A and B are shown apart, each in its own frame.
Chain A
Amino acid sequence: MNVARYWRTEKTRYGLVGETCRICGEPIFPPRDLCPHCTEAGQDVRTFGGKGEVYSFSTVNDAPAGYSEYTPYTVALIKLQEGPLLTAQLTDVDEPDVHIGMPVEMVTRKLKEEGENGMIVYGYKFRPVIQA
Chain B
Amino acid sequence: MKPSREVGIVGYGAYVPRYRLPASEVSRVWTGGHGGVPVDEKSVPGLDEDTATIAIEAARNALLRSEVDPGDLRSVWVGSESHPYAVKPTGTIVAEAIGATPAVSVADWQFACKAGTEALQAAFALVGSSMADYAMAIGADTAQGRPGDALEYTAAAGGAAFVVGAREQSLAYLEASYSYVTDTPDFFRRPYRHYPEHGGRFTGEPAYFKHITAAVQALLEELGYKPTDFAAAVFHQPNVKFPQRVAQILGFNKDQLKAGLLAGQVGNTYAAAAMLGLTAALDVAKPGDRILMASFGSGAGSDAFSFVVTDVACERQARAPSTQAYIARRAPVDYALYTRYRRKLQMQ
Contact = CB atoms under 8 A, between A and B. Distances in A.
Contact of B53 (A11, A110, A131, A132): A110
A130 interface: yes
A70 B48 CA distance: 8
Q: Is the interface of A mostly helix, strand, loop or mixed?
A: mixed
B319 A122 contact: no
B324 to A, nearest CB: 11
Contacts of A11: 96
A108 B56 contact: yes
Contacts of B347: 69
B342 to A, nearest CB: 13
Given A91-B48, A92-B46, A130-B326, A122 B53 contact: yes
Interface of B: 18, 46-50, 52-53, 56-57, 64, 84-85, 93, 96-99, 318-322, 325-326, 329, 331, 347
B97 A131 contact: no
18 contacts: A14-B96, A69-B347, A70-B48, A91-B46, A91-B48, A92-B18, A92-B46, A107-B53, A108-B56, A110-B49, A110-B53, A120-B85, A122-B93, A122-B97, A131-B321, A131-B325, A132-B318, A132-B319
A122 B55 CA distance: 13
A70 B97 contact: no
A122 B347 CA distance: 23
A14 B92 CA distance: 12
A106 to B, nearest CB: 10
Nearest to A47: B99
A63 to B, nearest CB: 12
Nearest to A129: B321
Contacts of A79: none
Most buried by B among A11, A15, A130: A130
Contacts of B325: 130-132
B251 to A, nearest CB: 36
Given A92-B18, A130-B321, A132-B319, A122 B326 contact: no
Most buried by B among A94, A122, A131: A122
Interface of A: 10-11, 14-15, 47, 69-70, 89, 91-92, 94, 107-111, 120, 122, 125, 130-132
Nearest to A120: B84
Given A92-B18, A130-B321, A70 B47 contact: yes
A108 B48 CA distance: 9
Contacts of B99: 15, 47
A107 B60 CA distance: 10
A109 B48 contact: yes
Contacts of A10: 96
- Which 9 A/B pairs are nearest by Cβ-Cβ distance? A109-B48, A14-B97, A110-B48, A130-B321, A92-B18, A108-B56, A108-B97, A109-B53, A132-B321
Contacts of B98: 15
Nearest to B94: A108
Contacts of A91: 46, 48
Contacts of A107: 53, 57
Given A110-B50, A130-B326, A132-B64, 15 more contacts: A11-B96, A15-B97, A47-B99, A69-B347, A70-B48, A108-B56, A108-B97, A109-B48, A110-B48, A110-B49, A120-B52, A122-B53, A130-B329, A131-B325, A132-B321
A86 to B, nearest CB: 17
A128 B347 CA distance: 31
A92 B46 CA distance: 8
Contacts of B318: 132
Contacts of A132: 64, 318-322, 325
A34 B329 CA distance: 42
B59 to A, nearest CB: 10
Nearest to A94: B331
A47 B71 CA distance: 14
Contacts of B326: 130
B121 to A, nearest CB: 27
A49 to B, nearest CB: 12
Nearest to A110: B48
A91 B93 CA distance: 20
B48 A125 contact: yes
